[in-house]
Structure 1
């Protein structure tokens, strides 16, 4: 019996020793890294919004999102309306009355640091090439889409009072409108979109991580975070999973895509038209609004069978613009001509779908040149 107690004591001591080593190791990696963040200090619910679903928080953020696979990180900050705060003194130097432009979009519009964004590049182009000063308001944010643009535009237009509006509609927006936001839209008694409620998936993710950081021991946080990330969240995501998968519609070449994707297309196009009505009510006509569309790599580079992605999304935006007398610019042809057989040079490597710095500059230049030809002129 005494031998058994000795063995149990030794086993307990071994467990305690290794637990102590593990705890110290986790704290050291947190201090010097972290390699796996167990403080989770930046996790909060300030991003939630029942108007625009997941608005940016005003304070500075350390971000490593788009282009993170390349190791690139950046900081950004936002005002209380969710518009990027930037140092635009150089853009506005010598300007008496700059032209105000509001930009709406998702992560492609959000961009990276202060200067690696489409709005900043467009303003640089107009000042350099046209001697025109633009005061740009970048309201682009991760995973925004037409469903969110509707209440966002209603909120921002009376505040910003822009002279012109630029809306970037992305290939992901058909998925976002149908799979992410369709059931979160809040409508008033007239059936109008007045808000997009907070995503239950995002809320559950933040709440779980906030609970995990309450544990006093780092190894308890480590276990809680692993369980939350790899067990609980996949179950939550499965609960809200849609039959429509991202880009399934883009790479589909069936003969009757309109019938096959009738329900997602109806939702997407209704949101586009509702957004059009908001913009027309503000501008009175379509001359001061432009919708732009950018290609993904798969629109430019054929797959093994020689096919590129279809134009199901871009043609929907183009038709809406034609119906409402808005300007429309599809950059696919321009970028294809510019980069020919090497369109991959426009995008981040290793699976990130976004433009790299070079691609963003090329896309922005194409957009700016089109805007200068149809919408904003020196005598403005």
Structure 2
């Protein structure tokens, strides 16, 4: 063969660089996880936000107080004799007896609703799950209203409606889950439709009980069960919901690893040793108990358990060992601020807290539903 085979490099004259620039390396993509703040910093920031929300909520009202005096009043309860009070004696009454029980109850309910929403979204493996959307809050409200209308107070004026609310929420959750899972496959649309349908029926039954009640003042006295309010917060109403929510949150944190397994899939969770049916049943009882305890003292407050978990996952990821504590902090802060707005925006009138959270949660739900629909179309 007479011709020579030349390499492409031989065509470039010696001593001269090739005219084309060498390819530049592609920019490294930063994963969402690397863009997030470190988890301890997130907790510190949320803790500071919660403390600030508490102080501002205690300071703002029909009588405005200096935030520095409010902070000093709170510190004096922890460190007696910390400083000589330089404020009127009425400040202590306003902060400690009037506003502090309401602020603490808002924090407890906000933390509990956020934790329950986080757990439900993992249990049914659906990002649209929420105690309000699934009708659990309506079932708890119906149970509490039924106990008050009947006049049966076997366990006391607070414990009896709470037990009735738990029974109502438990029955509602089982009913909605059975309806959504009929046919062996639960879809987002079916779950939402089942929850909305059951919620409307239960709300109608609660209205029927109220309209046929013998006491004409009963409608106004328990109106907060259908619209949600913290206006009736007192020190005596705090111990039971606080205990139930804190113990429930501790139980959820204890089983956070199992929630992670369940989100990955029932088959995978079963392969790794999780008894899915038994675990889900126990968690349903737990979230129903927590929901009943909160509804009994605050009424039906919607969309908190839907919005907060999604916001938290953007901050710390999907690991429930991180999501649950963060959701509790953010949920408490959110509901304290929402309650502050509810009692000050239209002062001296007070907006029902459930109405205000629905105004925030409605657009969020629509956005989330459209986002879920786009993802389902992409999978197809």
Give TM-score scaled by structure 2 length: 0.23
Higher strand share: 1
Query: Rg larger in 1 or in 2?
Result: 2
Higher helix share: 2
Structure number with higher relative contact order (C-alpha < 8 Å, ≥ 6 residues apart):
2
